[in-house]
Structure 1
Amino acid sequence: MLFYFDGKLHRVDALTSYSGRIGDTPGTNWLIVGTDSRAGLSDQQKKNLATGDADGARTDTIMMAHLPPSGKPMLISIPRDMYVPIPGMGSHKINSAFNNGGPQLLVQTVEEFTGVHIDHYAEIGFGGFDNLVDAVGGVEMCLDQPLRDPKAGLDLKAGCQELNGAQALGLVRTRAFPNADLERVVNQRKFLSALMAKATSPSVLLNPFRLFPFVSGAVDAVTVDSGDHLWSLAWLAFKLRSDPITTTAPADGDQYTDDGDSLIPGETTKRFFDYIARGKAVPADLLTSDAGAVS
């Protein structure tokens, strides 16, 4: 059964070779990408999930999961507005790499920007995300404030509550905060960690009526590199299930560029990723404190 589902995984050649590619760095590193692809959604589902009808796929969610040789795993958000050199394009916001060159250009951009070798790739779109959450029976999240965002189809009260798939999709999409994307990425990290904890809990693993729909949902919702497998995703889930260090890659300020308001990397950014590239613990002064709407 495992090999059957593994054979149905969507795959893409994300980790291609290129001249001067960063060699192996300590630990294991995943690039996790969230896109707004509507592939697989019916017109009614698009309406129910408030996704709109845009064609193609763009990414506003870029995370690096760093599993060091020792110590706690890290889940690192790379803000979409980080202004970085993109091979063949000059400097732009980092999400331009995926939008113009797909996963291959995004992986190359991240590797050259951070100095960190990417070992695995996972991409998830709107299509199937809600089913993934519903398959595990929902995910409990505790909100510090009520959230209402008609553009994301979101209307949640403050306090602890179990989110279904549509509500979870709204939570990870909404930018209705004073700091917009910088708060959204915090909520995304917290939700991903909570989803991994639920998916690897006995209530799912020991219940075939939840386990098999979840695995099937993962197969439908997730695209991985051609060298990755279902057991690679399972290993990642177990690593991220128990309180990983979560943070946003630091910038050294913001600036208005040809791409609009942008985050400018600098010496702080370089120091942060240098620790990751050497497999060393990142000092506390380089980690961001959690904000967002999720406790």
Structure 2
Amino acid sequence: GAAPPTRTSPARPGELPEAPRPRRRRRRAVVVAALVLAVLLAWPLGLVLWADSRLEHVEATSGAAPTAGTTYLLAGSDSREDGVIEDSETTGARTDTIMLLHVPESGPAALISLPRDTYAEIPGHGAAKINASFSYGGAPLLVSTVEGLTGMTIDHYVEVGFGGITDVVDALGGVELCLDQDVNEPLSGLVWTSGCHVSDGTTALAFARMRYADAQGDIGRAQRQQQLIAAITGEAASPAVLDPRRQVSLVRAGTGALAVSDDTSVVDLGRLALAFRSATGPEGITGTPPIATMDYQPGGVGSTVLLDPDLTPAFFTDIREGSLPPGPVGGLD
């Protein structure tokens, strides 16, 4: 015979009939899922907005007509009041780290270090060490000098205070760095045993600054600076940084260490980080421009690094157009 009809308890006066329990459970599950999704979406958005509000913006870019691709200028800034100063000829604020990061329209991304003692024409000041441009006129003059040297318009300028590097590395819990020699250099403060070590912020900063115990001088220092930033960007992308508390600490340390050009946002910094990882990966280009000599002495400015006048213009054209194959480039001829 037919199955008996399903019976439900009669509703009390003023109450709606009770919904079947499976339907209530599904509703609760949907509400919980919606709340979790809202939190997951709101947290990164809020973090980005907070980070963007903390960024210090400075006048830097020249307004020159753009060149192909996207070009970032990264400068490590310091001042004579900050402690370790290795340049007796340059007074006041200056930059020991100058890196050009270029993403062409097609071809490999490139990270090119410009040695701080590179002999270059500084607009309004004549030829001198390239880092003197920062001392003479801050970020705008450094940008103009690099544009004149490379023929590439700077789209985004990022200045990293050396003291901030310590905070960023410590917020990450340290980074692994490698150097195949023992070092005990009082000027930079680096004490190192040959091999790879997880380094705290103080050691990482000394690692990036050291040059007098390196037979390659500025070239060796440029390689270590590139290694340090690659280590920072790699560690910042690790699963450990998914911890919200660590994210907050890293954003606080990172934004406290940075000053960026007026039209540069946290989103642009995210693109920069991706470009940096691409350039330092197996399909990227890293190195320096072609160097003729590390001890060019034109008079009046001490010993400088002379870029090869015959090879350098074509080198930067190839970087801009993305026509060089991946791998290391530049160095001494």
- For Structure 1 versus Structure 2, the TM-score category normalised by the shorter chain is 0.7 to 0.9
Kindly indicate whether residue 34 of structure 2 is the aligned counterpart of residue 34 of structure 1.
Answer: no
Aligned residues: 274
Specify the code of the residue in structure 2 equivalent to 1:134: D
Q: Which of 297, 301, 304 lines up with 1:259 in the alignment?
A: 301
Q: Please, which runs of 5 or more residues in structure 2 have no aligned partner?
A: 1-45
Q: CA deviation at 1:38?
A: 7.8
Match of 1:125 in 2: 161
In structure 1, C-alpha distance between the alignment counterparts of 2:323 and 2:200, rounded to whole Å: 35
Kindly indicate whether residue 188 of structure 2 is the aligned counterpart of residue 152 of structure 1.
Answer: yes
Q: Which of 50, 55, 71 lines up with 1:9 in the alignment?
A: 55
Match of 1:184 in 2: 221
Given the two structures, how large is their TM-score scaled by the length of structure 1?
0.86
Query: Which of structures 1 and 2 has the bigger CA Rg?
Result: 2
Q: CA deviation at 1:185?
A: 0.8
Q: CA deviation at 1:174?
A: 0.7
Q: CA deviation at 1:26?
A: 1.6
Match of 1:42 in 2: none
Gap change, CA 1:56 and 1:207, over 3 Å in 2: farther
Instruction: Among all aligned residue pairs of Structure 1 and Structure 2, give the percentage whose two residues are the same amino acid.
Output: 40
Conserved 8 A contact 1:252-1:267: no
Conserved 8 A contact 2:108-2:322: no
Specify the code of the residue in structure 1 equivalent to 2:263: G
Kindly indicate whether residue 182 of structure 2 is the aligned counterpart of residue 140 of structure 1.
Answer: no
In structure 2, C-alpha distance between the alignment counterparts of 1:263 and 1:96, rounded to whole Å: 13
Secondary structure of the structure 2 residue equivalent to 1:111: helix
Conserved 8 A contact 2:291-2:330: no
Conserved 8 A contact 2:77-2:161: yes
Q: Note the 1:115-264 alignment, pairs <5 A.
A: 115-175=151-211, 176-204=213-241, 206-242=242-278, 243=281, 244-253=284-293, 254-257=295-298, 258-264=300-306
In structure 2, C-alpha distance between the alignment counterparts of 1:213 and 1:285, rounded to whole Å: 35
Conserved 8 A contact 1:37-1:126: no
Specify the code of the residue in structure 2 equivalent to 1:288: G
Q: Please, which runs of 5 or more residues in structure 1 have no aligned partner?
A: 40-45, 291-295
Q: Note the 1:72-87 alignment, pairs <5 A.
A: 72-87=108-123
Q: What is the RMSD computed on CA atoms of the aligned residues?
A: 2.3
Match of 2:139 in 1: 103
Specify the code of the residue in structure 2 equivalent to 1:14: A
Match of 2:319 in 1: 276
Q: CA deviation at 1:126?
A: 2.1
Given the two structures, how large is their TM-score scaled by the length of structure 2?
0.76
Deviations 1:155-184 (A, max 9, x none): 121112101100100000111212321211
Secondary structure of the structure 2 residue equivalent to 1:151: coil
In structure 1, C-alpha distance between the alignment counterparts of 2:187 and 2:127, rounded to whole Å: 30
Gap change, CA 1:201 and 1:238, over 3 Å in 2: farther
Gap change, CA 1:126 and 1:38, over 3 Å in 2: farther
